[in-house]
Structure 1
Amino acid sequence: MASGSPVLAGIDLAVVGVSAKTTWLFLRARTQDGAEGFGEATLYGEEGAVAAEIGKARELLLQRPLPLPGGALQALAMAQASSSRRAVTHALEQALVDLFARRAGLSVAHHLGGPYRDRLAAYANINRGISDRSPAGFAARARSVVEALGYDGVKIAPFDGLNWEADLAQRQRALAAGVERILAVRDAIGRDRRLMVDCHWRLSRLDAIEVLRLTRNANLFWLEDALDDRAFSAEDFRSVRSAANGIGVRIAGGERAETVADIRDIAAVGGMDVVLPDLRFTGVRNGMVMLQFAVSAGMEASIHNPAGPVLDAISVQVAAALPSFTILEGQVGESELFDEIAGGRPALVDGHRPVPDEPGIGLVPRLAFDAAVPKAGSVVATFVGAAGTGADA
């Protein structure tokens, strides 16, 4: 260990039950010299397993003379790590990047090499905040977000109950309902604002092409995760992309990508215009490398950012530090707790999010952290299956 390298003194957990759909998990890393940093380990449906992995991390890492952050991350590495182990490892990396940036008096973007921009194009993921799933309910929520908060782009997931394996009549009903919601939102936000549609892998190739045909006049910015890459061929992906590009629509995806090899495979298929990996699944530095590789392969860079305010804050900093970046997602309207924890929601300027220049991620989350990690069974599991939800609806 290098002389003067700090030693981890605490890895603490904060559990926030947001709604019937969502539980946020936040991590705080503390060193013996009093420095602290924050990360987010939210993993829908895996809350108990994440809590157990935080307990294991405390056993492996605390009070040990490990070079940070690399020594701690290496100690958690496993050849076949579970999703919960990876989530904790990546949240710890976020927290340590934040911690060291704070110790240096730098923003995370500066700590990562310096920002390329001081504001980011941004859109609001409003899906989890839409309790009224009628077209009018979608439209009302979209209108309120763009008018009250200044976003010039929104993302919805309108295909509740659609499953490409279901019978034709059921698919047609769900498809028609989804298209009606899309058209209602377009009418509500006007022609000039970006409209993204997240399909959560619910469509077949023919379904996706039909959606594009029926929404041709809706001027979609992108169609996201239309096809499941575990079920459909490269030819299917290219066919959907060709249909989309022919009417000026991008195809986006890649939120499940975890490695540069995954991005290489996406590029080889040729079915995407925009990739948006999630820092919870990639880690900070690896995620940056993945996105730079994607751009070098001719795709646009974005970040999947659908969870809580700490993930949001670190995503802003990483996006600012990337040489090329298109637009950043933000979770909007699911709960007032988001803004309470973050200490308020930054005002947008011409539809863009300013990049905070304060030390670290730009906020100290207003949370009660517990050094005693709860047992796995004591953490409330996320509800999965409600209208509008999915793995990351």
Structure 2
Amino acid sequence: MTSGSPALASIDLAVVDVSAKTIWLFLHVRTQDGAEGFGEATLFGAEEAIAAEVAKARALLLQRPLPLPGGALQALAMAQASSARRAVTHALEQALVDLFARRAGLSVARYLGGPYRDRLAAYANINRGISDRTPAGFAERARWVVENHGYDGVKIAPFDGLNWQGDLAQRRRALAAGIDRILAVRDAIGRERRLMVDCHWRLSRLDAIEVLRLTESANLFWLEDALDDGAFSAEDFRSVRSTANGIGVRIAGGERAETVADIHDIAAAGGMDVVLPDLRVTGIRNGMVMLQCAVAAGMEASIHNPTGPVLDAISVQVAAALPSFAILEGQVGETALFDEIAGGRPTLIDGHRPVPDGPGTGLAPKLSFDAALPKAGSGIATFAGVAGAGADA
């Protein structure tokens, strides 16, 4: 073990039972010299698997003379790792990057070689906070968020119950309902604010083109994850992108991308304008390389950030450390627990989020670690058909 790299003394898990749709999972790590850092391993529907992987991480890593963070991450690496193992590994990377930045007295953005900017364009993912799924309910929530939180953009997932493989009559009803929600939100937030629409891979090529045609007056900023890349061809993706770009709309996606090879495939397909990988899926350093490759291939960089306050704080710092970055997502209005844990609501200035420049992420989360998981069955096993939920909503 190199000097200045003490062994890990503890790895603790915090469980926050937010709602039937959401359970947040956070890691707290501490080294033998008392330094600490925080990461987020939220993985919807896999809470027990995450807890088991944290126990394995303790057995593999604690008190061992491993060079940190690389040695610890390598000890957890395995061929064909489960999604839970990857989530814990990436949460550990977040926590160790946070820890070493704090020890150095640097922000995470500076520790990672930035920052390239001191504030970030930002938008609010409001979908999980919309309990009234009527167009009026969507509109009311969107208006409340922009007026009370100061965001210049919102993202909604309006196509509840839609499945491109489903019954035609049901599909038409769900599609029409989604379009009504989009138009209502545009009227509610005004013309000057950005409006993003997340489809959660629910549309066919023809559905996506129809949505773009029928919402042209809504002036969407982007249409996200319209098509499932496992079911549709590169030609389908290019067709949707061409239609979108023809009316000034971007196509966004890539939250399931894991590697630089995935970015290469996305670029080769030519169907995307904005790539937004998720740091829980990619890890920090790999995710940064992926986004730099995406920018080099002519796409814009963003980050998928729909979960809790720890990942949010990490994502802000990573976004600031990237040479090119478009706009950052934030989960807004699902629960007051977000602000309670973070110690306050994220600050916005002219629709932008300032990048904290204190040590680490700048977050001292108010959490109880090693809390028990919710009782079996208290959450949901699948988001299929659940209003306000998608893969990550």
User: So what's the TM-score if we normalise by structure 1?
Assistant: 0.98
Which shows bigger deviation, 46-55 or 379-388? Answer: 379-388
Q: Which residue of 2 aligns with 1:6?
A: 6
Q: Which residue of 2 aligns with 1:63?
A: 63
AA aligned opposite 1:340? E
Q: Secondary structure at the match of 2:365?
A: coil
Residue 390 of structure 1: CA displacement?
A: 1.4
Q: Which residue of 2 aligns with 1:242?
A: 242
Q: Secondary structure at the match of 1:140?
A: helix
Q: Which ranges of structure 1 fall in alignment gaps of 5 or more residues?
A: none
Q: Which runs of 4+ in 1 moved over 2 A?
A: 373-386
User: Is the Cα contact below 8 Å between 2:17 and 2:374 reproduced in 1?
Assistant: no
Distance 1:375 1:329, change over 3 A: closer
Q: Which residue of 2 aligns with 1:204?
A: 204
Residue 346 of structure 1: CA displacement?
A: 2.6
Residue 168 of structure 1: CA displacement?
A: 1.4
Deviations 1:157-210 (A, max 9, x none): 000000000121111100000000000000000001000000000000000000
Residue 104 of structure 1: CA displacement?
A: 0.5
User: Is the Cα contact below 8 Å between 1:225 and 1:252 reproduced in 2?
Assistant: yes
- Aligned-pair identity in percent equals 84
Residue 20 of structure 1: CA displacement?
A: 1.2
Residue 5 of structure 1: CA displacement?
A: 1.7
User: Is the Cα contact below 8 Å between 2:20 and 2:379 reproduced in 1?
Assistant: no
Deviations 1:53-77 (A, max 9, x none): 0000000000000000000000000
Q: Which residue of 2 aligns with 1:75?
A: 75
Q: Which residue of 2 aligns with 1:111?
A: 111
AA aligned opposite 1:384? T
Q: Which residue of 2 aligns with 1:176?
A: 176
1:23 maps to 2:23: yes
**For 1:129 and 1:310, how far apart are their aligned partners in 2?**
19
Q: Which residue of 1 aligns with 2:136?
A: 136
User: Is the Cα contact below 8 Å between 2:47 and 2:373 reproduced in 1?
Assistant: no
1:52 maps to 2:49: no
**For 2:206 and 2:267, how far apart are their aligned partners in 1?**
22
Q: Secondary structure at the match of 1:38?
A: strand
**For 2:134 and 2:32, how far apart are their aligned partners in 1?**
53
Distance 1:104 1:379, change over 3 A: farther
**For 1:327 and 1:377, how far apart are their aligned partners in 2?**
37
Aligned residues: 391
| Structure 2 counterparts to residues 191-230 of structure 1, below 5 A | 191-230=191-230
User: Is the Cα contact below 8 Å between 1:48 and 1:378 reproduced in 2?
Assistant: no
**For 1:333 and 1:376, how far apart are their aligned partners in 2?**
22
AA aligned opposite 1:230? G
Distance 1:334 1:376, change over 3 A: closer
**For 1:376 and 1:69, how far apart are their aligned partners in 2?**
31
Q: Secondary structure at the match of 2:235?
A: helix
Residue 352 of structure 1: CA displacement?
A: 0.2
Distance 1:140 1:209, change over 3 A: same
User: Is the Cα contact below 8 Å between 2:20 and 2:378 reproduced in 1?
Assistant: no
Distance 1:238 1:339, change over 3 A: same
AA aligned opposite 2:70? G
User: So what's the TM-score if we normalise by structure 2?
Assistant: 0.98
Q: Secondary structure at the match of 1:286?
A: helix
| Structure 2 counterparts to residues 1-393 of structure 1, below 5 A | 1-370=1-370, 381-382=379-380, 384-385=382-383, 386-393=386-393
Q: Which ranges of structure 2 fall in alignment gaps of 5 or more residues?
A: none
Q: CA RMSD in A?
A: 1.3
Residue 347 of structure 1: CA displacement?
A: 2.2
User: Is the Cα contact below 8 Å between 1:305 and 1:312 reproduced in 2?
Assistant: yes
Residue 13 of structure 1: CA displacement?
A: 0.3
**For 1:24 and 1:379, how far apart are their aligned partners in 2?**
16
**For 1:163 and 1:5, how far apart are their aligned partners in 2?**
51
